Amino acid sequence: MSKIVEGLLYSDSHEWVKVDGDVAIIGVTDYAQAEMGDITYVDLPEVDDEVSQGEDFGALESVKASSELYSPVSGTVVAVNEALEDAPELVNEDAFANWIIKVQMSDKAELESLMDAAAYAGITG
């Protein structure tokens, strides 16, 4: 059974969002990292890149497969977690502690389309 954190929002493509004012802190869920297996590479966007809800902004790579990352919100990338460039395995170690990007949201109303922890537990249970 994978871990789910209360108080975060979730996409059906297994990203989590922590809302900090107008900024969305985005990572992947424990379920996603467990499905991937050993993550060997995180393909990150660059600061100032524009992202759109539901569009891919990067990818996780395991030995065997790559899995695209989809942005749960639209906006501008204001930070990327550069620690993942050298240590992609951090996502396996703690998927919720190791965020991937931070996005300055252009439309906070998009958050309403995301799931809460209970709803997300429903699709991964």
The residue ranges that bind other proteins (CB under 8 A) are 37-38, 40-41, 43, 56, 59, 61-64, 66, 68, 85
Note whether 37 and 60 are within 8 A (CB).
no
Q: Of 9 and 42, which has the nearer Cβ to other proteins?
A: 42
Q: Of 8 and 77, which has the nearer Cβ to other proteins?
A: 77
Give me the least distance between CB of 44 and other proteins, in Å please. 11
Q: Of 66 and 113, which has the nearer Cβ to other proteins?
A: 66
Alpha-carbon gap, residue 86 to 54, rounded angstroms:
27
Give me the least distance between CB of 110 and other proteins, in Å please. 22
Q: Could you give the residue ranges of the DSSP H alpha helices within 4-116?
A: 30-36, 83-86, 90-93
Give me the least distance between CB of 37 and other proteins, in Å please. 6
Alpha-carbon gap, residue 83 to 99, rounded angstroms:
10
Identity of residue 4: I
